[in-house]
Amino acid sequence: MLKGTLYALAAGLMWGLVFVSPLLLPEYPAALQSVGRYLAFGLIALPLAWMDRSALRVLSRADWVEALKLAAIGNLLYYLCLASAIQLAGAPLPSMIIGTLPVVIAVTANLRYGHRDGHLPWLALAPSLGLIAMGIACVNRAEIAMLGHPSGADLWRYVRGGLLAVGAVVCWTWYPLRNAAWLRRHPDRSARAWATALGLATLPLAVCGYGLLWSVMKIADQPFAMPFGPHPWRFIGLMVAIGLFASWLGALCWNAASQRLPTAIAGQLIVFETLAALAYAFILRGHPPGALTLAGIALLIAGVMWAVRIKPRPVELAVE
């Protein structure tokens, strides 16, 4: 449990970086940031694949198909939705919606996989879910207060941003549960090799997406300077950093956590991503969080600590 929690913490710290890029590259289309990030991830995975070639050889055709599905939905589509939401609505609204992931995943996992991992009793789980929900509400109330009152032309942007953030939640509810299910079915497989396999599966999708986006922008005669935009070195540097730390190393740490923790608890630990994203946002703003935000962070941490102390009931005893 301790090792699994530390791996999940490391993954959250690295995944929090993905909230930074759309804020640092506001002129760049969200689709370009998505394919750019995962093109970098796929290229980083190539030399790593040589190191893990023995483990990758044992993957079947069905395993590679699964990797393609995870790459398409959990990587490209998720980040397209998230980056678009942040650019349309700003950081607060998407973070409020994405912040519900620990609760959504925990509830979904308990319903979907409780029969396999052992059942987390709902009465024992409820205080943890309640603390996390209250913490997220406090943090996002403080964030939304900084937005002011959007009106008229801005309203539709916020609505679209909110809908895209909901789409990101759907993608990232499906992804960790599906990924954890594969890892549990293959406990003998290397978590590092599977993270590399996801990068290899993402590469052709990202290359095709990059080419398609470039073609569409050229046909539409858009003034955007492809292939790397108006700030090429900033763009390339951010894509490589996020591809290495958030995509490959983050996936490796999450895979290791998924192999050690019940799925419902692992789902709640995605709260670390929310905390990391908030920390990075305040660093960029150059001022510390207020009292309401600090209270929300304390509630989130308390909810996580409560959750990791819950012992799943054995399957044969999991009767409410």
Give the residue from 58, 36, 47 showing the smallest Cα distance to 231: 36
**Domains of the chain by residue range:** 2-310
Q: For residue 124, what pLDDT is reported? A: 79
With vertex at residue 53, the alpha carbon angle to CA 52 and CA 56, rounded to the nearest 5 degrees, is 85
Average pLDDT value for the chain: 83
Q: For residue 117, what pLDDT is reported? A: 56
pLDDT tens column, 36-50: 999 998 998 899 899
Asked if residue 120 has pLDDT above 60, the reply is: yes
Spatial separation of the C-alpha atoms in residues 294 and 18, rounded to whole Å: 22
C-alpha atoms less than 13 angstroms from C-alpha of 144 in its C-beta half-sphere: 15
Q: For residue 213, what pLDDT is reported? A: 92
Q: Please state whether the predicted TM-score (pTM) of the whole model is above 0.75.
A: yes
Where residue 98 falls among pLDDT bands split at 50, 70, 90? confident
β-bridge partners, 114 = none
Spatial separation of the C-alpha atoms in residues 186 and 125, rounded to whole Å: 28
Token digits of residue 209: 């997406």
Residues 6+ apart with CB under 8 A from 242: 17, 18, 21, 37, 40
pLDDT tens column, 247-303: 778 878 887 888 888 766 776 787 788 788 878 878 887 888 889 888 988 887 788
Q: In the 8-state DSSP scheme, what is residue 318? A: -
